[in-house]
Amino acid sequence: MSDALVVAAGTTAADAVAAAGLPSNGPKAIVVVKDPSGRLRDLDWAPAADTEVEPVALDTPDGLNVLRHSTAHVLAQAVQATFPEAKLGIGPFITDGFYYDFDVEKPFQPDDLGKLEKKMQEIVKSGQTFRRREYASLDEAKAELAHEPYKLELVDIKGDVDDSEVMEVGGGELTHYDNIDRKGERVWGDLCRGPHLPSTRLIPAFKLMRSAAAYWRGSEKNPQLQRIYGTAWASRDDLKAYQTRLAEAERRDHRKLGTELDLFSFPDEIGSGLPVFHPKGGVIKREMEDYVRARHIEEGFQYVGTPHISKEGLFHTSGHLPYYKDTMFPPSHMEGADYYLKAMNCPMHNLIYRSRGRSYRELPLRLFEFGSVYRYEKSGVIHGLTRVRGFAQDDSHSYVTAEQAPGEIKHLLNFVLSLLRDFGLDDFYLELSTRDPESDKFIGSDEQWEIATKVLEDVATESGLQLVADPGGAAFYGPKMSVQAKDAIGRTWQMSTIQYDFNQPARFGLEYQAADGTRQEPVMIHSAKFGSIERFLGVLVEHYAGAFPAWLAPVQVVGIPIRDDHGDYLQEFVDRLRKQGIRAEVDHSTDRMQKKIRTAQQQKIPFMAIAGDDDVSGGTVSFRYRDGSQRNNVPLDEAIAHVAEVVRSRTNVGPTA
**What are the tens digits of pLDDT across the range 362-419?**
999 999 999 999 999 887 788 999 999 999 999 999 999 999 999 999 999 999 999 9
Known catalytic membership, residue 262: no
> Is the predicted pLDDT of residue 512 greater than 60, yes or no?
yes
- For 273, 274, 437, the CA distances from 268, given in Å and listed in that order, are 10, 9, 43
Mean pLDDT of 299-315: 95
**Per-residue confidence (pLDDT) for residue 172, from 0 to 100:** 58
Q: Name the CA radius of gyration of the chain, rounded.
A: 30
**Per-residue confidence (pLDDT) for residue 204, from 0 to 100:** 97
Confidence tier at 98 by pLDDT (50, 70, 90) = very high
Contact by Cβ (8 Å): 657, 625: yes
Known catalytic membership, residue 397: yes
> Is the predicted pLDDT of residue 210 greater than 80, yes or no?
yes
pLDDT per position as a tens digit, 158-190: 533 333 444 455 445 789 999 999 999 999 999
Known catalytic membership, residue 383: no
**Per-residue confidence (pLDDT) for residue 655, from 0 to 100:** 39
DSSP string for residues in 482-512 = EEEEE-TTS-EEEEEEEEEESSHHHHTT--E
**Considering the chain, what is the average pLDDT of its residues?**
92
Q: How far apart are CA 14 and CA 30, in angstroms?
A: 9
Please choose, from the candidates 451, 481, 459, 455, the residue with its C-alpha nearest in 3D space to the C-alpha of residue 468: 481
Mean pLDDT of 591-617: 94
The DSSP bridge partners found for residue 493 are 485
Q: How many Å separate Cα 85 from the centre of its chain?
A: 37
> Is the predicted pLDDT of residue 157 greater than 80, yes or no?
no
**Per-residue confidence (pLDDT) for residue 162, from 0 to 100:** 39
Q: How far apart are CA 32 and CA 41, in angstroms?
A: 6
Task: Read off φ and ψ for residue 511, nearest 5 degrees.
Answer: -145, 165
Known catalytic membership, residue 325: no
**Per-residue confidence (pLDDT) for residue 315, from 0 to 100:** 92
Known catalytic membership, residue 192: no
**Per-residue confidence (pLDDT) for residue 446, from 0 to 100:** 84
Q: Which of 68, 190, 280, 346 is catalytic?
A: 346
Q: How far apart are CA 626 and CA 393, in angstroms?
A: 32
Known catalytic membership, residue 224: no
Known catalytic membership, residue 393: yes
The total of other beta-carbon atoms located within 10 Å of residue 618's CB is 13
Kind plus residue range of the DSSP H or E element containing 326 = none
- For 13, 23, 202, the CA distances from 28, given in Å and listed in that order, are 16, 6, 11
CA dihedral 591, 593, 598, 603 (to 10 degrees): 70
Q: Which of 196, 342, 480, 596 is catalytic?
A: 480
Mean pLDDT of 473-502: 91
pLDDT per position as a tens digit, 616-645: 999 999 999 988 899 999 999 999 999 999
What does the angle CA 382 – CA 387 – CA 392 come to, to the nearest 5 degrees?
135
The share of the chain scoring above pLDDT 70, in percent, equals 96
Kind plus residue range of the DSSP H or E element containing 591 = none
Cis check: omega of the bond before 364, within 30 degrees of 0: yes
Q: Which of 69, 158, 193, 375 is catalytic?
A: 375
Q: Which of 342, 526, 624, 626 is catalytic?
A: 526
